[in-house]
Chains A and B, each alone.
Chain A
């Protein structure tokens, strides 16, 4: 196995397009990023920015048709997942790359006992016998903090609350000790106290198992607390890519700045909550310039005409903007608080 400079995952120039009646939707358009072993990567962006499609592309679960991975490489542990045969990728799904989905209410099969769903994983990938798999399932349920796991394992999903089901999903995802865990908005459908518990659980388990995590979210608070690196996506493109601390302290992209300003600040009680004007663009009909230009407060004439460059602002810090350096410099200045 080729270990490529400590990177568990390298995504290079990934393009995933959807062929719709409305034209070709470039859901993910030329995206590259990498993930080191044991690190957590956050992907943030509005709905429809291509976060989920990026991750479904990684494990090749894009519904085809209409979706299609047009080009790119997904190097996982030195081999390109996009070139693997179907049986080979199936052995990776769940075993080495596991996923947690957004809505725990619908991501468990309502007709299968919880234990059965957990057992399916290890029977399939680790060759467990029924008894082994059952014991393993119970120990996993205990690990994710299901009280009275032995008695509850044989319940059906509807007998569990939302938070409990998400715990079950996490137990399932981690039961084969995958090297990469993709969590697609794992807390969006949960209420706030449960959110905190689930995030804490993911953190703890990550520390124990050394799994790398890709965390998709639109909650910047979650990103700040959980991740080492962040990618900001907009209209299928990476707009900014940085270490988490850098992104929050010196954002180099007007979109990121807008996002950060939109986070409610409990200490400043007065005033209206900031909102980026306009709506995300229709990715099927993008104009030649910067896709964010119509909503941008730094917009210049060039933005409507030319696609912006991907500027390196610092090591590990890139931004897609004609005026990335200016924005970056401006962010770096000591802020005069409103």
Chain B
């Protein structure tokens, strides 16, 4: 994530090497060449004006960074991994409230308390964040890879091929995909938690690309009749190159927007599946599986549900705000709708 953009969004951002080059220009020449703003820079400026989107961006960045480095830091400082169960001291195998030590005294060791097995809740939430974000991002990457290529190819070639390809999408679309994922996961049930996780990736990735394929196909359908495609064909560029070098970059705006909105959607699905017991299995944790454990003890140990639940809700909100902000920033015309 870019951190160097601390300048006033109203000002046109001039990278340092450009500024030097312009200082070298003789004054009488300086006026005739005004550096244009690129689409991305414009979009970035519009994004920065959107307070909710900036809030979302900040939260997403913080959650991502702490999830990634958090468990390792906790291991360093307090000496326990997310799945550490204090087996040597039976008195510790119970759920402590936040900031409380074994004798009810104040302690920094467990800011979110512990779960029934005495595992640190904070470390578990962070590790759960790692897995939730990872699932969301991987499934979205799969949807980008398959969905964009599939949609672009169908849209560009059109005709019978398009018809067949999109009917396949329609069939897959009409299957209730949560049930498909559940069936996939139970048919290929894996013995190890890691195997189960990989299955979850495959299952979520397999269904996540359908809408992306439709979006990209629609975009390509309208783009392929533009003259620049004909011009590219007239210069002898091959179809593959036209699709991936000329058309796909032109669909990037909607694709990015949809991808950022896919991440929270997939994370929610993952949480849902884990909550039902189909997704991530202990000792691995995801926000969904943590919430599932927490809900069993909600009356006595409410922190077991509150912390993973709030973290997940905050992250999903932020991702959605960011996605909406990106949509407004990349396509200003859509705003009025």
Contact = CB atoms under 8 A, between A and B. Distances in A.
A319 B242 CA distance: 42
A32 to B, nearest CB: 23
A106 B227 contact: yes
Given A65-B159, A159-B36, A108 B228 contact: yes
Interface string A187-217: 0000000000000000000000000000000
A132 interface: no
Contact of A95 (B33, B227, B236): B236
A92 B36 contact: no
Contact of B250 (A109, A148, A158): A109
A93 interface: yes
Contacts of B227: 101-103, 106-107
A124 interface: yes
A90 B228 contact: no
A84 to B, nearest CB: 12
A24 interface: no
Contacts of B233: 61, 93
A120 B237 contact: yes
A102 to B, nearest CB: 8
Given A112-B246, A155-B36, A156-B38, A99 B231 contact: yes
Contacts of A103: 227
B333 interface: no
Nearest to B252: A111
A59 interface: yes
Contact of B235 (A93, A106, A155, A158): A93
B230 interface: yes
B237 A61 contact: no
Nearest to B21: A151
Contacts of B237: 90, 94, 120, 124
A92 to B, nearest CB: 7
Given A101-B231, A106-B226, A110-B250, A151 B33 contact: yes
A259 interface: no
A112 B249 contact: yes
Nearest to B246: A109
A153 interface: no
Chain B interface size band reads 20 to 34
B236 A91 contact: yes
B36 A94 contact: no
Nearest to B29: A148
Given A109-B246, A156-B36, A172 B235 contact: yes
Contacts of B230: 61, 101, 107
A320 interface: no
Would you call the interface of chain B mostly helix, strand, loop, or mixed?
helix
A112 B235 CA distance: 15
A253 B246 CA distance: 45
A109 B232 contact: yes
A65 B158 CA distance: 10
B234 A98 contact: yes
A337 B291 CA distance: 96
B174 interface: no
A120 B250 contact: no
A109 B228 CA distance: 5
A296 B252 CA distance: 53
Contacts of A151: 33
A151 B22 CA distance: 12
B238 interface: yes
Nearest to A59: B234
Contact of A148 (B33, B38, B159, B236): B33
Contacts of B236: 90-95, 124-125
Nearest to B231: A107
Interface string A126-153: 0000000000000000000000100100
Contacts of A91: 236
A14 interface: no
B120 to A, nearest CB: 48
A238 interface: no
A121 interface: yes
A94 B252 contact: no
A93 B234 contact: yes
A61 B234 contact: yes
Nearest to B234: A99
A169 interface: yes
Interface in B73-130: none
Interface string B214-244: 0000000000001110111111111000000
A64 B238 CA distance: 16
Interface of A: 59, 61, 65, 90-95, 98-99, 101-103, 106-112, 120-121, 124-125, 148, 151, 155-156, 158-159, 169, 172-173
Given A101-B230, A107-B230, A124-B236, 4 more contacts: A65-B159, A111-B246, A120-B232, A159-B36
19 contacts: A61-B233, A61-B234, A90-B237, A91-B236, A94-B234, A101-B230, A106-B227, A107-B227, A107-B230, A109-B232, A111-B252, A112-B245, A112-B249, A120-B235, A121-B235, A125-B236, A151-B33, A156-B38, A169-B231
